[in-house]
Amino acid sequence: MDLRRSLDSLLRQRGRRYQLSDGRVVVVDFTVVVEAFTVVVVDFTVVVVDFTVVVGDFTVVVGAFTVVVVDFTVVVVVEVGAGAGQSRS
């Protein structure tokens, strides 16, 4: 990998001494830090609801709040009893 070769080259230069034309000596000392990170992209639905609740003589205003639902599934289960649809005479 080009990136790995570049990093190896930079790390090999650490602590090198260079003499400038005017006689000064420069010591190159640095550390290269490579941070590994993961980017996670999540599909989600954002529902923004503005509403006002009026109770008696005062008003409670809850505005511009966000509900974030991530990867949700709605399951509706309907149970039908054994006697459903039968009439007794």
For the entire predicted model, the pTM comes to 0.17
Q: 4 is written with which tokens?
A: 């790995």
pLDDT digits (tens, 9 = 90+) for 19-68: 667 777 666 655 555 555 555 555 555 555 555 555 555 545 555 554 55
Cα separation, 26 vs 13, whole angstroms: 13
pLDDT value of position 23: 72
**Widest CA span in the chain:** 116
